[in-house]
Structure 1
Amino acid sequence: MPKTDATTPRERYRAQVRAEIKEHAWEQIATAGASALSLNAIAKRMGMSGPALYRYFASRDDLITELIREAYRSLAGTLRSASSTGTGPAPLAHALRGWALEDPQRYLLIYGTPVPGYHAPEDITAISAEIMTALLDACAELVPDSPATPFSTHLAGHRGWAGDHPAPSAALHRALVVWTRLHGLLSLELAGHFGGMDFDPSLLFEAELEGLLTPPA
């Protein structure tokens, strides 16, 4: 009879072990950062030999790549869902903050300090481009007739980062401003820099978002 299960017991076991390795990796990252990630330390925690663990992830960079890939896929899916709930960048901004607060280490892995010597493969770059495309789509709805600025004029000839997106230069400018300002706020909040300042970071986020999305008088 044909096999109906898409995976074999060995494949399921391998998936379980890889998932456990990733759980330990996140614990290490939360404690010491991604640059200190050690496969040998994970193997010791799991009662495995180093060579045995390397059958599941060939190198530290291989493991980091998998964690980054999953993080980007998760965020891209979150923003894709948010984009269907309203227009403009606001739904995306709220979804981004919720996603970041849900798992700060996941956010900091992809938007925090780069891991020394690590270079993301092309498929991860493509997923991150999906995130920027969602923001460009949202910003293009806001600035169809905005006047040119020195930076938007500059972007007319420096738009390779936006791929083949047809958004006008003013929308590219708005997207970069939204992207940098919101990530700046989130990075400060997640790093604890607002602690002891006696204000609600969520209200600051809302105020900044409102300022970003309110057309100038």
Structure 2
Amino acid sequence: MSAVRTARERVRAELIREITETAGRQLATAGAAGLSLRAVARELGMVSSAIYRYVPSRDDLLTLLIIDGYNAVGEAVERADARHAEAAPGDFAGRWLAVCGAVREWALAHPHEYALLYGSPVPGYKAPDDTVAAAIRDNVVFARIVTEAHAAGAVEPDGQYPPPPPSIAEGLGRARAFVSMDVPDDVIARSLTAWAGLYGTVSFEVFGQYNNLIDEPARSDYFDHTMTLLGRLIGLKR
């Protein structure tokens, strides 16, 4: 009975994979708001009633796509950090640049999936708690780099920055606990700014905000320069 159940689970997992891959292709043509389980079923040669046994609703399909997307970003970031940490374990600024580059590379290769994760919210959809573990994989890596750099005495910000206002202390404490970031409030505040700057810079490029401003051949250099500045804001120096 166990072997039968395992075989069924494998078949189910494979069908769900095919469903999400087909839905991922739909993102490029219909956008997240236009996703349709019926259209996915037609492309797979399934009757509509059959697909609902595997993915009960459009929102469930969106959740699967979002989890897959966050996991893909997280895996890219984790691989980039592991490679750089192994090659140059004390180069925290280099690790920061490596993981930032991994986010950009993934986003440019998967613009529609990136838009689903970081673009405009899908009307009527509210992401469930199931997405949280995947969503913070990249954050955990960023936090680990800064925490390890701080522990090694390698966080030295350029210049004097104002301390974070007392009104955000509670929020900074939540951030500290959420990603196990064992650093003072001022380092957390600067890190959050850098994190927002990373995704803001990537989003500007993915969504075409640099068109007619920064030529495409120079965007990689601009990105590296911006991430270097943000790394120095945190206090990571090469």
Letter in 1 for 2:101: H
Q: Is the 8 A contact 1:79 1:96 kept in 2?
A: yes
Partner residue of 1:114?
A: 121
Aligned counterpart, 2:175: 161
Change (3 A) 1:165 1:211: closer
Q: State whether structure 2 residue 193 is matched by structure 1 residue 180.
A: no
Query: Which structure features the higher share of helix residues?
Result: 2
Distance 1:174 1:76, change over 3 A: same
Shift of 1:154: 4.4
Q: Which amino acid aligns with 2:138?
A: I
- How many angstroms apart in 2 are the aligned matches of 1:198 and 1:116? 32
| Distance (whole Å) between structure 2 residues aligned to residue 145 and residue 212 of structure 1 | 13
Partner of 1:210: 228
Alignment of 1:33-182 (within 5 A): 33-84=31-82, 85-86=84-85, 87-88=92-93, 89-140=96-147, 141=149, 144=155, 149-151=162-164, 153-159=166-172, 160-162=174-176, 163=178, 164-182=180-198
Runs of at least 5 residues in structure 2 that lack an aligned partner in the other structure = 86-91
State the identity %: 33
Shift of 1:25: 0.8
Whether the 8 Å contact between 2:77 and 2:141 is mirrored in structure 1 is yes
**Shift in alpha-carbon separation, 1:152–1:132, aligned structure 2, 3 A:** farther
Does the CA contact (< 8 Å) of 1:152 and 1:170 recur in 2? no
Offset of 1:205 from its aligned partner?
0.4
Q: Which has the higher contact order (CA 8 A, sep 6+)?
A: 2
Residue 89 of structure 2 aligns with which residue? Answer: none
Cα contact 1:83–1:92 (8 A) shared by 2: yes
| TM-score under structure 2 length normalisation | 0.77
Rounded Cα–Cα distance in structure 1 between residues aligned with 2:139 and 2:166: 20
Alignment RMSD = 2.7
- In 2 relative to 1, CA 213–165 (structure 1 residues): closer, same or farther, beyond 3 Å? closer
Whether contact under 8 Å (1:153, 1:169) holds in the other structure is no
1:113 Cα offset (Å): 1.2
d(CA) in 2 for partners of 1:129, 1:214 = 23
Q: CA deviation at 1:29?
A: 1.2
Show CA shifts across 1:96-139 (max 9, x none).
11121221222221111122232222232133233222212223
Change (3 A) 1:198 1:181: closer
Q: Which runs of 5+ in 1 are unaligned?
A: none
TM-score between both structures, scaled by the size of structure 1? 0.84
Aligned-residue offset at 1:37: 0.9
Question: Counterpart of 2:67 in structure 1: which amino acid?
Answer: R
Residue 32 (structure 1) shift:
2.3
> Retained in 1: the 8 A contact 2:175–2:181?
no
Aligned length: 213
Deviations 1:2-55 (A, max 9, x none): 96x9941x4443333222221221122111211211111222222322211101
Q: Distance in 1 between the 2:72 and 2:26 partners?
A: 20
